[in-house]
Structure 1
């Protein structure tokens, strides 16, 4: 089973756009993507 990198990136782009919209509009929901939350967590561990 192979992961398509382009599909993975497009999924990330859609989720990032939705998170940016929520952040700017004050709409409910996550303000960052899962990748963003993971990066913050990993950087806090150092």
Structure 2
């Protein structure tokens, strides 16, 4: 039994917070779009140096 079509490429991953597919930060398994990442980054321990 197949449960649907397998998705490949950039559309396979979505932001965990807002389900957006564009501008995804996948490094370190974060899986957040860049807009959500900018909002949450200080809480996650990332610091802006300049």
Global fold match (TM > 0.5): no
TM-score (norm 2): 0.23
Structure whose alpha-carbon radius of gyration is higher: 2
Higher helix share: 1
Higher strand share: 2
TM-score (norm 1): 0.24
